[in-house]
Amino acid sequence: SSYCNLNNIISGTTRSGRVIRGIPEWNVVVINNCSCAQSKIRFDCKEFRTIEDVSPSILSVQGDSCLLINGNPLMGFASVRFSYAWDPAFVFLARSSHTTCS
């Protein structure tokens, strides 16, 4: 099994093409680019804002951090998607995670 760390949590943001109340919508995909599951994935969300509701089961804002999928494992090479609306786009940087290799 290979060792995984935060560098394996890749997030990409693209414009969805939709505009909500004059604000551009963004599609975010978070990929666990590693063969091991990673859980308790948190992002630095200090400046994150959105006028579009994001399901807390996917991204839960908790103070200055955001918890991905309720802390559940993101399996190896799996991805999670969500959308939000704000301008400018927010860069999601992984802050912490827990790796489990079988």
Q: How confident is the model at residue 1 (pLDDT cuts 50, 70, 90)?
A: very low
Q: Check: CB of residue 101 under 8 Å from CB of residue 4.
A: yes
List, for residues 57-91, the tens digit of each pLDDT value. Answer: 999 999 999 999 999 999 999 999 999 999 999 99
CATH number for 6-100: choose from 2.60.40, 1.10.20, 2.40.10, 1.10.260: 2.60.40
User: Domain ranges in the chain?
Assistant: 6-100
The helix (H) or strand (E) run that includes residue 40 is strand 37-44
- The dihedral through the CA atoms of 88, 91, 95, 98 has a sign that is positive
Q: DSSP class of residue 74?
A: B
List, for residues 4-49, the tens digit of each pLDDT value. Answer: 899 999 999 999 999 999 999 999 999 999 999 999 999 999 999 9
Q: What is the pTM of this model?
A: 0.94
Determine the Cα–Cα distance for residues 59 and 92; give it in Å rounded to an integer.
11
Sheet holding 65-68, edge to edge: 59-62, 65-68, 37-44, 93-100
